[in-house]
């Protein structure tokens, strides 16, 4: 006869085996393909290298008595992190200019140098000084962004051209939320040694309805010295799950901030009594790698009419394929804000 301890052990073994037999098989944890792991490593190496260089620069420029951040600098702190973004686009089609191929690139970085000055923000961008009605990359601009008053910044810098162009601007923007409505007003006055005085303004209205985004974007730009007045209006209807938010309302003009979804965009614009333009586009964008690499496909139809010459409409039909690379954090660490 089995002793009580032996009987207990035997019953425990039988119960354990029965539980294992009835248990559902556990699916193995998916492992990323080697090329995906290598891509994440490359992203992190680039991101860490840039942050280290900027932290070293910050420490070198810091005033005496300010102690640089401790550590090896491999991971930037929230205070010193300098996020940057690179967009690459390639368009092919039948263009009125006769060219069947065109390309464009955008770069934007918000430099943070806390050791140099706690409230100083340095920026480097290819966006036009007006930050509106600019679909193509302009010359590089670099400068300082200082708080002026509530919701407003003062910008001082140069356009990296030959010869360099100095500029100064006061920039104001807010984000207002009421339920499913988001409203983003923006205004800017600027002066530079090339264009003289100018002013721009934009109003972006977002309405979320379930997984759909309804957007209206209105913008104007005035350049009195050149007697130029530009205007633009676009409407976007998109089914999207994620949008980028970099803290600037103007990133939402058009559909640049939609990173996972598809939709339609209708745009109208012009330059006073000189030119009219209209465009209809279908866009699709999805993550290609983690949360930092996105691919987009955008078939479009555009027509332009120059009123001064009383010519007919010039039509462009094509498709644009783009890559959007975000260096906002290390790979696998979510830096995209859900709506």
Mean pLDDT by 10 residues, the chain (339 residues): 45 45 48 77 89 79 46 42 86 82 82 61 76 63 82 88 88 89 92 88 90 91 87 92 62 73 93 89 87 91 86 89 88 46
> 129-143 burial, b if ≥16 CB within 10 A, otherwise e?
bbbbbbeebeeebeb
Q: Is 186:201 a contact under the CB 8 Å cutoff?
A: yes
Q: Is the peptide bond preceding residue 287 cis, with omega within 30 degrees of 0?
A: no
What confidence score (pLDDT) does residue 32 get? Answer: 61
What fold is seen in the domain 42-60+74-327?
Porin (2.40.160)
- What pLDDT score was predicted for residue 334? 41
CB proximity list for 37: less than 8 A, separation 6 or greater? none
Task: Give the pLDDT score at 301.
Answer: 95
β-strand pairing of 84-94 with 165-173 = unpaired
Query: E strands, 150-249, where?
Result: 152-159, 165-173, 176-178, 181-192, 196-209, 212-223, 228-243
- pLDDT at residue number 120: 59
> Residue 85: beta bridge partners?
108, 326
Q: Return the pLDDT at 150.
A: 84
Residue 129 is predicted with a pLDDT of: 81
Cα separation of 257 and 19, whole Å?
Answer: 50
For the chain, report the end-to-end CA distance as a whole number of angstroms.
69
Q: In the chain, what are the domain boundaries?
A: 42-60+74-327
Helices and strands per DSSP (H, E), number in the chain: 2, 15
Distance CA 117, CA 151 (A): 20
> Residue 314: which region, alpha, beta or left (left: phi > 0; alpha: psi -120 to 50)?
beta
User: Residue 295's Cα: distance from chain center in Å?
Assistant: 13
**What are the two backbone dihedrals, phi and then psi, of residue 137, each rounded to the nearest 5 degrees?**
-70, 135
For residues 142 and 166, what is the distance between their CA atoms, to the nearest angstrom?
10
């Amino acid at each position: 006869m089995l002793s009580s301890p032996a009987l207990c052990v035997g019953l425990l073994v039988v119960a354990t085996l029965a539980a294992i037999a009835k248990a559902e098989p556990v699916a193995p944890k998916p492992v990323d393909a080697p090329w995906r792991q290598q891509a994440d490593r490359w992203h992190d190496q680039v991101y860490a290298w840039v942050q280290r260089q900027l932290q070293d620069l910050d420490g070198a420029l810091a005033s005496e008595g300010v102690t640089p951040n401790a550590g090896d600098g491999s991971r930037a702190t929230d205070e010193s992190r300098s996020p940057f973004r690179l967009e690459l686009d390639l368009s092919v089609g039948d263009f009125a200019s006769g060219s069947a191929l065109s390309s464009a690139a955008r770069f934007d970085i918000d430099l943070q140098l806390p050791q140099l000055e706690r409230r100083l923000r340095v920026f480097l961008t290819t966006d036009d000084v007006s930050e509106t009605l600019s679909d193509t990359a302009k010359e590089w601009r670099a400068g300082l962004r200082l708080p002026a008053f509530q919701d407003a910044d003062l910008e001082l810098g140069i356009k990296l051209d030959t010869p360099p162009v100095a500029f100064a601007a006061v920039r104001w923007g807010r984000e207002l939320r009421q339920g499913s409505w988001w409203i983003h007003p923006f205004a800017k006055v600027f002066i530079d040694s090339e264009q003289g005085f100018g002013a721009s303004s934009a109003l972006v209205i977002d309405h979320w309805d379930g997984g759909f985004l309804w957007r209206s974007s209105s913008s104007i730009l005035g350049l009195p010295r050149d007697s130029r007045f530009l205007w633009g209006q676009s409407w976007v209807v998109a089914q999207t799950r994620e949008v980028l938010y970099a803290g600037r309302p103007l990133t939402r003009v058009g559909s640049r901030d939609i990173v996972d979804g598809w939709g339609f965009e209708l745009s109208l614009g012009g330059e006073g009594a000189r030119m009219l333009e209209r465009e209809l586009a279908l866009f699709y964008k999805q993550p290609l790698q983690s949360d930092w690499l996105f691919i987009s496909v955008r078939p479009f139809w555009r027509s332009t009419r120059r009123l001064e010459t009383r010519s007919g409409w010039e039509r462009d039909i094509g498709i644009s394929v783009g890559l959007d690379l975000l260096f906002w954090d290390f790979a696998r660490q979510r830096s995209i804000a859900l709506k």
